[in-house]
Amino acid sequence: MFRKKFKYIIVSVILCILLIENTKTALAAVPTAQFPEGWPQGPSVEAESAIVMEAGTGAILYEKNSHEELYPASITKIMTTLLALNNSSLNESVTFSHDAVFSVGASDAKLGGIDEGDKLTMEQCLYGIMLASANDVSYAVAEHIGGSLSKFVDMMNEEAKKLGCENTHFMNASGLPDPEHYTTAYDMALISQEALKNPVFCQIAQTMVYTIPADEYCPEPRARANHHEMKSNGKYPYDGWTGGKTGWTASAGYTLVTFAHKNNMDLICVIMKSSQTGQYTDTKALLDYGFQNFKRMNLSEADTGTAEQESDDNPLGLGDFMKEQPLLGINSEDYIVIPGPAGWDQIEAEFIPEAQDDETAGSMRYTYNGYYVGTGRVVLNAENAYKFQASTNLSRKNSAQGILKINPWVIVAAAVLAVILIVVLVLIFRRPRRRRRGRKLRF
């Protein structure tokens, strides 16, 4: 009886170890900018820190001091807008408190025409934050969402940690100077990547001009233009520009986040501690570098193989994996971003098991010469799963009530557990038994 219990304990320990190791592998999947042989040479930039990330994959195409802690100035407002969108509706009414109106310096950016007790909708506020970079509006939104500025700042820091930002600490919702208010180009790219998943944020970020109509608080319409000069009618127009956020303080210098879409790729460029002109010339050079030297390759374009294919026929090395797991497949809508001359024969894949929902078992992490270039979700092959289900005797048990529906993941999990159990039993019984010493007890 003890031996039986001991076997169960061993199996449980092994499963825990496997889960811990898988977690470590997933955490190690965060891309680092140590570019491999064959990676395109990037341009020299004036900025103290810069990065280019492909938004869909999170692949880093270029970096310069991207983990250096610097003052962000008003690009902070990307996080403020993201949290507001996640925690409110656009038609909510935001009331401006005394602190929201009067704690902002006379020379700081404001919406204008705002007095204590005035109200705006959340939608109007968010356009004021992103386009006019209004510090008074940022304060009011922070109070509305968090209950107080300090509680909203706590929310900002919690969200930053959740997104994987390891070198970020916020002290306010606007980016006004504070020694303890800092971030990095890499962390800002992570925050921007998350914000771009929200279609309302994307719409706001690329709006040229937004007008707040006259109301009981302000008799004149307030039109506010986007400050980003890479818009189509800006000083440095860029073909493919889809939005961004500007920033400046004396201590931070010029900071700039830019989004652009071209060649079926979405790039995020972050510039920190630059000059007024350099922020735009650097951004243009980096976006051109990204679009001209890299290409998107959908996983549907690769010969990902089937259960019947040999691994030699599969350039991504998935043949053996698919052969052993015929119920699983790679989501064909996912893609990777690689240097232009590269092909599938230069790409390697690693399976990271992590059940996220009823249809996703984990992911395939793709690398080019060891460098992260994208991820493909490992999903349930429903057709094969139900064929397998139909061929089992279990489906006959409820024949009077219809076909019994079995969750295919139960089958996969059972198979994995069975293999682990067999290995454990072999290891236990292969060990030679030691003779017990001492006198036998008589009963």
Tell me the catalytic residues.
74, 77, 133
- Please enumerate in sequence order all residues whose Cβ is within 8 A of that of 90, keeping only pairs 6 or more positions apart, or say none: 121, 122, 123, 126, 200
How many whole angstroms from its chain centre is CA 340? 24
Residue showing tokens 């983990």: 67
| Pairing mode of beta strands 119-121, 209-212 | unpaired
Burial profile 309-323: b = 16 or more Cβ within 10 angstroms, e = fewer: beeeebbbbbbebbb
Q: Cα–Cα–Cα angle for 238, 86, 331, nearest 5°? A: 70
3-state secondary structure of 178: coil
Tell me how crowded residue 207 is: count the other CB atoms within 10 A of its CB.
16
DSSP one-letter string for 37-102? TTPPPPPP-SSSEEEEEETTT--EEEEESTT--B--GGGGHHHHHHHHHHSS-TT-EEE--HHHHH
What is the number of other CB atoms lying within 10 angstroms of the CB of residue 269?
A: 28
Rounded distance, CA 137 to CA 120, Å? 9
How far apart are alpha carbons 118 and 124 in whole angstroms?
Answer: 13
